[in-house]
Structure 1
Amino acid sequence: MSYRVYVRSAAERDIVEAQNWYEAQQQGLAAEFHAEFSAMPGSLAETPRIYPLLYREVRRAALHRFPYLVWYRVQNSNVTIIAGTHGRVGPGRISALLRGR
């Protein structure tokens, strides 16, 4: 079964912010980050429950090359990406972020 994947606008903003940061570090790095992130919805569509359930029906998937986490929910046949964060963001901030989304 393939799930439909939706990306909330707040998560899109998180991704754009990360891309801008990576591009400021090194020219072309944002494109590499974008390419890796773009593969995530396809992976989540096929096996969304493979990643751990961490907080109120929210799961977390990690990018491979970049220290970036994708936070999402699985509901019925839908996957909704709700946030993206750097891997070093503390649990208190994550929980506050997810409560608001």
Structure 2
Amino acid sequence: MSFTVYVRRAAELDVAKAQKWYEEQLVGLASDFHHEFSLVLARLAETPFIYPAVYRNIRRAVLHRFPFLVWYHVVGSVVTVLACTHGKADPSKVPARLR
């Protein structure tokens, strides 16, 4: 079964902010980050339940090459990406972003 993946605007902004930072560090690194994020989205479209629920029905995928977490939930056949946060972000602030 294939799932539809929807990325909320807040998550798009998270990704854009991370890409901007990575591009300032090294030309081309933003493209690598976007590619890694896209791989996670493709994985979620095929097998969204491979990542455990960590907060109520919210699941968390990990980018392999970059220290970022992709927060999402699954309802029916739709995966909604809620946020993309740095792995060292204050964990007490993350749940508020997932509503």
Corresponding residue number in structure 2 for 1:71: 71
Counterpart Cα distance in 2 of 1:50 and 1:38? 16
The answer as to 2:93 corresponding to 1:93 is: yes
Deviation for aligned residue 1:28: 0.9
The runs of 5 or more residues in structure 1 that have no matched partner are none
Code of the aligned partner of 1:58: I
Counterpart Cα distance in 2 of 1:38 and 1:77? 19
Corresponding residue number in structure 1 for 2:17: 17
Counterpart Cα distance in 2 of 1:96 and 1:80? 16
The answer as to 2:3 corresponding to 1:3 is: yes
Work out the number of aligned pairs and report it.
99
Task: Give the structure with the larger helix fraction.
Answer: 1
Q: Which runs of 4+ in 1 moved over 6 A?
A: none
Corresponding residue number in structure 1 for 2:50: 50
Q: Secondary structure at 2:93's aligned position in 1? A: helix
TM superposition score normalised by structure 1: 0.93
TM superposition score normalised by structure 2: 0.95
RMSD between superposed Cα atoms in Å: 0.9
Counterpart Cα distance in 2 of 1:41 and 1:97? 19
